[in-house]
Structure 1
Amino acid sequence: MLFYLPTYSQNSTPTVSENKTVSDNLAEQLQSLSKNNASDLVYLQTSKGIYETEEDFWFKGYVLDAQNFTPSVRNKILFVQLIQDKTDKAVWENKYEIENGFVNGHLFLQDTLQEGIYTLAAYSSASYMKNTKEFYAVKKLEILKTINHKPTINPVAKDSTLQFTTFPEGGNLVSGIQSTLGFKAVNSKGLPVNVSGTLYESDKPLLDFKSSHAGMGGFLFTPDANKKYYIQLKEPARKEQFPLAKIYQNGKVLQLVRNTKEELTFKVSQSVILNPETVYLRLQVRGVVYSIASGLLKKELLVKIPLKDVPQGIAEATLFDSSSKPVAEQLVYVNQDQKLNIKAELDKNNYNTRDKSNLKIKVTDQNGQPVIAHLGLSVYDKLYQNKQDSKNILTHYLLSTQLKGNIYDPAYYFDERNKDRQEALNLLLLTQGWRSYVWEESNLIELGNPLRPIVFDNLKAKIGLKNAGAITKEHQPQGIKLFAADEHKGTQILMADATGNFTVTPNDLKKGEGDYSYLKLLAPPESKYHITLKDFSFEEINNERKIKATLYPIPTILETKKEALPTFSDRPKTNKLKEVLITSKKKGSILRDKFIGELDSKSQLKPDYICPYGILNCPNHPPFQAYDSNKQLTEAQLLTYFNIVTIKGYYGKKVFYEPIYDEVTINDSSPDYRNTLFWKPDIITNEQGEATVDFFCSDINTMFLGNIEGVSGDGLLGAGNFEFSVRKNAN
């Protein structure tokens, strides 16, 4: 019997069915949960994978809606940290402005940083929640003092520990019903172990099997609840016997029969002893229900689910019985061709040093139609590639953030050169087990409602008495002057409410971009009121980091073969100037920026003083006991004196350096040792899906890689790459 009855679609009106009420409830209960838990996902694209100290680190942040992957406008601030893995301490942290879902960021890697592995992590109000246990918005990178210290990749040490697990398709093994039994073998580090073995039935060999990808595999068999089953591994040889999951005497089984571009075909089976009943099969992707099919199940039932309006990604098919109880589920990857196809075409394959390169980019969808897309492009020396990192925008949004647990080499499943990638993806999802999908209904219920942010765009501030409980007849001021050290940025007046509360917004941070925003209380100098403003954002982030599991793809096992790497002589050391320390002959002088310097000058106009306890103009200690006319006030004391508080603005923007070589400058004797030739995080293709960029090669004689990643306005994702060689001109 075949049923082909879609009753729900995201873009169409539900088709009326005899069981419409049940179908409505099954769709609405899931979609209401996902709607109430609306959030964002952040991905970080970096200019390369390996860096040296004393160079700029460039990155692009993608802040996309968690359900449809469109650029999000929920937040304006991205909190970013650089964390040293060895100590788990943040060595650098700052705020960046999110502009229409994207962040153009950079930071400078100080020479004081130790060599090792670091993590770039990003947080926003709609992506970093107390409710969640996992954290994904990270990018691993390696920092070296010099590329000459680049370590060789050591072969993976042998690990005698083996974890072997079986996974029945649909969730359960049922006696008398043929099922696919998936299996996965990993070592103590989570790395895959290829295995072969035998399934025994009542101590008799029933069938042989072996893994087919990354320690995973599967085989068909019909279990019998009255018999004993176990698995014995031959390679690697193990004495222990691995039992199967529980075999149920009666029940229902859900199997995937076919997965094409047009539709999914499932077979639903149940034990012969069970009475016929109406069952429902719901298909959802990222919390959106796309179809619900229903039919009368006697012994077997084929169900076809159309995929016309279903986006690329992991889909969850859940089987419900007549009482709407879930009895089986299946994860399946659908519409893998629905993505951005990014074609990069260079005007040449080989260049001379300092040559100009012209790159044409063409972006189309799965139907070959041009797409307007927001792209990030990096061109860098191949030596700075981290070959073990298989994370990109596709693996991040479509796999890693959708499943619980770390995935080994996720890039394999998106590389079209791997002809078995669809089969491998099926195995990956088969061996995840129940409730591993983050959008599974029980997982959404566990999150709670609503989601609870850890950081916020707006910062609360308050006007209050300097000394709590003090009695004064002074009317509480309500006006605050907002300004930056750069007077050309202008000023703005903020108003507190009657209780003294007011809010510092992301726009207020923008005024102090690259520096600080200043808030001055509009009150007389002798006022007993002041502004209380404290930003604990990064403290809250650090506290929460300790209790969350940071998930990242498991590094790829690389073959230990020697490669012909470029010689280091092609990268002569740059002579760096020794540190110059500027001092003043005037004893006790303090170097200040222009604005603080002006405050310092103004403070000299009045005979103010600081008591031994650090209190400005303290009434309990006469001036002759504490005031020293030759003593300069510290910056903090100056701000307190003028009733000003500061808040750090967005980290300043910087333009990527691009030299231009012409007939004259190409012969410049100054060396050009740029290992990152080009970085542009904001390429937007036109209506024809095209964009063109130019860049100049450096003096490094080597292979260069180009990496392009991006997203369209309707949530299509894509990644592409290219490479070319640069050789020293013999002339």
Structure 2
Amino acid sequence: MGSQKFERSICKVCFSDCYSFLLVLNLLLYSFPVLSQDKNIMDNLAERLHLQTTNKPKLSVYLQTSKGIYETGEDLWFKGYVLDAQRLLPSALDKTLYVQLEREDNNQVVLQEKLQVGNGFVDGHIHIQDSLRAGNYRLSAYSSRSFNAGSKEFHGFRKLKIVERISTQPKDTTFLGQGRAIKNDSIHFSVFPEGGHLVSGILSTIGFKAVDAKGLPKDVLGTLYENDKPLLTFKSTHAGMGRFLLTPNSNKRYHIKLKGPSPQQVYILSGIKTQGKVLQLLNTPKEELVFKVSQSSSLKKESVYLRVQIRGLVYTIAKALLDKETIIKIPLKDLPQGIAEVTLFNESLKPVAERLVYVNHDQKLYIKAILDKGEYLTKEESKLRLKVTDQNGDPVVAHLGLSVYDQIYKTPEDCKTIESHYQLSTQLKGTLYNPGYYFDEKNEDRKQALNLLLLTQGWRRYVWNEQSLKAQKPLDSLYVKDHVEGELAYIKKRKNTTKQSMVVIYNPLEEGNETFIPLDSLGRFALTADHLKMGRKLYIKHFGTDRDRIQVTVKDPFNAINKIKETKYNSYPLAIIAEKEAYNESDVKAWASIQEGVTLDEVEIKGKKKRIYRDKYLSKLDSLANLEMTERTSDYVCKLDNFLNCPFHRRSSESKKPVEGEVYKEFMFLKNGVWITGVVPIGDYVFKNPPLPPYHYPHLSEADLMSKYNLMSTEGYSLKKVFYEPVYDEIEQTNGFPDYRNTLLWKPDIITDEKGEATIRFYCSDINTKFIGIVEGVGISDEGFLGTKSFEFFVRKRK
């Protein structure tokens, strides 16, 4: 090994879809130069992975909400982050975010909206109706380039709890990894040889994981036996996971017994290869990864390649000449934070060992939240200073979301953060348990625990693994688009009718915003973000005549979303808490502050039934239609006798038009025992003139109005609402109206300045309790820089 030389070359590789990345070739060579053949091999290893990433979504969505528990009648505030799935930077690719609020128990969608995305960020709100049934809900978000791939897992949602009223704080919860476990005798125990397999005669690291019958982590203590004799003991060190070292012998038998209530259960350690190669991570210092590559002495000397990729982008390929064993060092300077898949290839470019390792853990947003006080009086002004830096203390321009709310509305079961979402949950298949643990600086063992997690997950669980990417197939016909599709079709068309080439879309509440949309040869058109942002309710008008029957339709994008959802399952991290200490709504009594208010008895108001158009524009069209019908009606009223359609006095200067709602009389005479109307009697006759029901012109439904004026309506983007932030003077602080806001601040669009700083002011309410603040965000120009920070303070009642 002492005779080895280290050479590096750097080249830039660009592919057809305009993705370019830095490919760092760290070459460990004996005394021969870098050949063009080596470069071609390395380019091939990089490109063959990159070509598979076309099956993966280009973007990834994360939702941040103003709190975790909501009461009916409140507003649910949320922010969406739409990031490049590989670089974890805000993306401007998608302009539309589709949002659904759905019940967790039966997947019923209770509300859905479209929102405009601006450069990777979007914020909105949903009003929770009083009629909404209490329970567990999901707030889900979809975009065109984040929801169309063949992946079976869906991560783009946030779990919420909706209650009618809340009063007491949910009981404290205890994570299983921090000292309390769920009792269960049944254990599922798995072992994971580092690199993928064990080779006889080569020292290997073996990771293990134990879960109970519910799939939850279980701490264990066990013994490894060799030929039925105890060889070593081991125990889990974090969330049922641990590891031990073993030099296996293919001629010997190995099994494991766990200490506990079921000692008779034996786990066989099999699959030991007689010869092969082993990849072992020796250490993970900040500057470089150090791997030992070993092979059986019976194998010939050959060149091997070590490829390092993160989220489908190859950053490093190293070449080494392997005899018995060799050391390969991978510099970390140019790698982003995240899960790196390290794959060992033999001379034939066949993968022979793989390992997942987390790199550059400290490369993140460091957020400081500094309050001017630790305790405030009710309705007092608070000043919060935010400062964001990188791991070196240099300022970072970041896009942040901030919420400050009463601690009682925090969901103990929700452990999802922007860091755990993008760096772990969306990168690994299967359920993760309390992933926020690995990013919380309070946990000194978080890096070691994360290394255990990746050792026991296995490289096949990495969503960017080459084999996993190959197995994914894009959906053929079911896909979500960033625009809304429409179509104009002729139900009946005259021979000489000129084919329409466009339709017009407009918001009738805004003057001069009519926009023409071209039709393709099949009559199809697209409503883009520029159209959808024109207003909440939009109208599309075609230019057909009365003799043509034309139908304009707009596809509901949520139909495609709902269809795709059937092919996926929802994946959400679990905060392992003791069942008896989970929040239970039945334990919650009415909020004490409600008693200070006044509750009104239910009042039922009845009135005359009347046709009402809620839409102002339709009301205007209805009035125009009524005016037109008034002008064209053949009905008339005799001014002399007030008869409707009087047979004696036909339409003349002595007649008038009927008035809506007026009561008129009808002339009738008796002939052969039958009462006749509408004609003049001959000879003597007996007559009567009974009153008619109030006169009404023909009723036009909404559909009638739309058809009459060649219109159809569609929904644009949801309207933005401003979060209410009161400002109190000294008099209002002591003698003003009561303020029972439980969310003091929701600010989803904070952007730090060039110093990485932002200052926010807000006022407390009359609730005297502990409040918590959550800040999350992403670096605007720094790849993979994510961060979250929480803080707390108390509000005391004024004397």
Fold agreement, TM-score > 0.5: yes
Is residue 551 from structure 1 mapped to residue 574 from structure 2 by the alignment? Answer: no
> Which residue pairs with 2:620 in the alignment?
598
1:415/1:476 Cα in 2 relative to 1: closer, same or farther (>3 Å)?
same
Opposite residue 718 of structure 1, the aligned amino acid is G
Residue from 263, 267, 284 that aligns with 1:259: 284
Residue from 237, 259, 269 that aligns with 1:244: 269
> Which residue pairs with 1:653 in the alignment?
720
Worse overlay, 682-691 or 435-444: 435-444
Contact 1:7-1:23 within 8 A present in 2 as well: no
1:655 positional shift = 0.2
Residue from 12, 24, 29 that aligns with 2:48: 29
Q: Distance in 1 between matches of 2:153 and 2:715?
A: 29
Q: Distance in 2 between matches of 1:204 and 1:434?
A: 32
Question: Aligned pairs, how many?
Answer: 705
Q: Distance in 2 between matches of 1:350 and 1:438?
A: 46
1:505-539 Cα shifts (integer Å, max 9, x gaps): 12111112xx3110011233x14142422323212
> Which residue pairs with 1:500 in the alignment?
523
1:559/1:130 Cα in 2 relative to 1: closer, same or farther (>3 Å)?
closer
> Which residue pairs with 1:694 in the alignment?
761
1:632/1:188 Cα in 2 relative to 1: closer, same or farther (>3 Å)?
farther
Q: Distance in 1 between matches of 2:23 and 2:115?
A: 39
Equivalent residues in 2 for 1:484-499 (5 A)?
484-488=507-511, 490-499=513-522
Worse overlay, 414-423 or 160-169: 160-169
1:589 positional shift = 2.5
Q: Distance in 1 between matches of 2:598 and 2:565?
A: 40
Q: Tell me the C-alpha RMSD between the 2 structures.
A: 2.6
> Which residue pairs with 1:191 in the alignment?
216
SS in 2 for 1:275: coil
1:547-592 Cα shifts (integer Å, max 9, x gaps): 20211101232597899x999535646546667777653x542243
SS in 2 for 1:147: coil
1:190/1:295 Cα in 2 relative to 1: closer, same or farther (>3 Å)?
same
1:593-639 Cα shifts (integer Å, max 9, x gaps): 21010111122244599xxxxxxxxxxxxxxxxxx954422222211
> Which residue pairs with 2:193 in the alignment?
168
> Which residue pairs with 1:137 in the alignment?
156
1:91/1:450 Cα in 2 relative to 1: closer, same or farther (>3 Å)?
closer
1:491/1:471 Cα in 2 relative to 1: closer, same or farther (>3 Å)?
closer
Residue from 543, 550, 571 that aligns with 1:530: 550
Q: Distance in 2 between matches of 1:555 and 1:719?
A: 17
Worse overlay, 171-180 or 548-557: 548-557
1:490/1:134 Cα in 2 relative to 1: closer, same or farther (>3 Å)?
same
Worse overlay, 439-448 or 92-101: 439-448
Q: Which structure: larger Rg?
A: 2
Residue from 506, 509, 525 that aligns with 2:532: 509
TM-score w.r.t. the length of structure 2 is: 0.84
Opposite residue 472 of structure 2, the aligned amino acid is L
Contact 1:195-1:234 within 8 A present in 2 as well: yes
1:489 positional shift = 6.5
> Which residue pairs with 1:625 in the alignment?
none
1:229 positional shift = 0.9
Residue from 549, 555, 560 that aligns with 1:540: 560
Residue from 47, 54, 73 that aligns with 2:92: 73
Contact 2:103-2:136 within 8 A present in 1 as well: yes
Contact 2:310-2:338 within 8 A present in 1 as well: yes
Q: Distance in 2 between matches of 1:8 and 1:30?
A: 19
Is residue 323 from structure 1 mapped to residue 348 from structure 2 by the alignment? Answer: yes
1:502/1:102 Cα in 2 relative to 1: closer, same or farther (>3 Å)?
same
1:222/1:638 Cα in 2 relative to 1: closer, same or farther (>3 Å)?
same
Contact 1:520-1:645 within 8 A present in 2 as well: yes
Q: Distance in 1 between matches of 2:269 and 2:8?
A: 35
Contact 1:7-1:291 within 8 A present in 2 as well: no
Q: Distance in 1 between matches of 2:25 and 2:230?
A: 51
Contact 1:566-1:702 within 8 A present in 2 as well: no
1:651 positional shift = 1.2
Contact 2:56-2:149 within 8 A present in 1 as well: no
> Which residue pairs with 2:433 in the alignment?
408
Equivalent residues in 2 for 1:661-700 (5 A)?
661-700=728-767
1:189/1:477 Cα in 2 relative to 1: closer, same or farther (>3 Å)?
same
Is residue 218 from structure 1 mapped to residue 243 from structure 2 by the alignment? Answer: yes
Q: Distance in 2 between matches of 1:451 and 1:273?
A: 49
1:376/1:441 Cα in 2 relative to 1: closer, same or farther (>3 Å)?
same
Q: Distance in 1 between matches of 2:614 and 2:592?
A: 44
1:405 positional shift = 0.7
Q: Which segments of 5 or more consecutive residues in structure 2 lack a partner in the other structure?
A: 12-20, 27-32, 175-180, 634-694
> Which residue pairs with 1:727 in the alignment?
796
Contact 1:517-1:646 within 8 A present in 2 as well: yes
Is residue 88 from structure 1 mapped to residue 107 from structure 2 by the alignment? Answer: yes
1:220 positional shift = 0.3
Is residue 54 from structure 1 mapped to residue 81 from structure 2 by the alignment? Answer: no
> Which residue pairs with 1:118 in the alignment?
137
Q: Distance in 1 between matches of 2:101 and 2:512?
A: 30
Contact 1:3-1:303 within 8 A present in 2 as well: no
1:666 positional shift = 1.7
Q: Which segments of 5 or more consecutive residues in structure 1 lack a partner in the other structure?
A: 610-627
> Which residue pairs with 1:64 in the alignment?
83
Contact 1:435-1:443 within 8 A present in 2 as well: yes
> Which residue pairs with 1:623 in the alignment?
none
Is residue 518 from structure 1 mapped to residue 543 from structure 2 by the alignment? Answer: no
SS in 2 for 1:533: strand
> Which residue pairs with 2:121 in the alignment?
102
Contact 1:476-1:529 within 8 A present in 2 as well: no
SS in 1 for 2:703: helix
1:478/1:22 Cα in 2 relative to 1: closer, same or farther (>3 Å)?
closer
1:33-80 Cα shifts (integer Å, max 9, x gaps): 336746100000000111111000000000000000111111111000
1:314/1:245 Cα in 2 relative to 1: closer, same or farther (>3 Å)?
farther
Is residue 640 from structure 1 mapped to residue 697 from structure 2 by the alignment? Answer: no
1:346/1:404 Cα in 2 relative to 1: closer, same or farther (>3 Å)?
same
1:173-209 Cα shifts (integer Å, max 9, x gaps): 1111111111101123221100011111111111111
1:481 positional shift = 2.2
Q: Distance in 2 between matches of 1:332 and 1:192?
A: 21
Opposite residue 796 of structure 2, the aligned amino acid is R
Q: Distance in 2 between matches of 1:78 and 1:235?
A: 51
1:144-182 Cα shifts (integer Å, max 9, x gaps): 111138765799763333211110000001111111111
1:445-493 Cα shifts (integer Å, max 9, x gaps): 22246998721122232222134xx554322233422111313472222
Contact 1:6-1:293 within 8 A present in 2 as well: no
> Which residue pairs with 1:711 in the alignment?
778
1:296 positional shift = 1.0
Opposite residue 540 of structure 2, the aligned amino acid is L
> Which residue pairs with 1:624 in the alignment?
none
Is residue 481 from structure 1 mapped to residue 504 from structure 2 by the alignment? Answer: yes
1:679/1:382 Cα in 2 relative to 1: closer, same or farther (>3 Å)?
same
Report percent identity of matched pairs: 49
Q: Distance in 1 between matches of 2:474 and 2:43?
A: 21
